[in-house]
Amino acid sequence: MTAPRPPALRTHDVVIYTDGGCRGNPGPGGWAFLAINPATGSALERCGGERDTTNNRMELMGAIMALRSLRKDGLKVLLHSDSQYVVKAASEWIPSWKARGWRRKEGALKNIDLLKDLDALGARFQVSWQWVRGHAGNPGNERVDALTNQAMDAIRAGGDPVFEKRVSWTL
């Protein structure tokens, strides 16, 4: 007998975990996501990276690439990130930045290209943004952290940081 899913997960079509990181800031960076279908337990994990980037750009890329992987508009998505920057940007700050012409009160806004992409992708879905404490034992967060490090290791070794695998995942 399969244990019932927690109530919060029953209402979502997709549960996503994302991460991004950088060794040096700027430096070689990686991003990753784990997208889970809670009804079936099937999941997609993917990572990639860039040779010269920043931590915030990689955190944003994890969320962007996860949302890009979804094929059906209108899905109810629960997206977990250990980046307060990503969660607050997507759930609180973007409307104000847009109203000011993609600027902060204090002046120029960094990562406008990725923030606009995240905004457009977020509008295609019903996204609930959830901050999760990093390195605190959450299995989804720990997995995307490992994938992010895998991508950064590949870049440092001169290899290709891109990795993708379909897996089974129990929530």
What are the residue numbers of the active site?
Answer: 19-20, 59, 82, 135, 145
By CB atoms closer than 10 A (0-12, 13-18, 19+), residue 119 is middle
Among residues 127, 135, 142, 121, which one has the least CA distance to residue 18? 142
For residues 164 and 46, the answer to whether their CB atoms sit within 8 Å is yes
CB atoms within 10 A of CB 78: 21
* Nearest-angstrom CA–CA distance, 98 and 59: 20
For residues 21 and 146, the answer to whether their CB atoms sit within 8 Å is no
* Nearest-angstrom CA–CA distance, 137 and 106: 37
CB atoms within 10 A of CB 166: 9
* Nearest-angstrom CA–CA distance, 20 and 125: 22
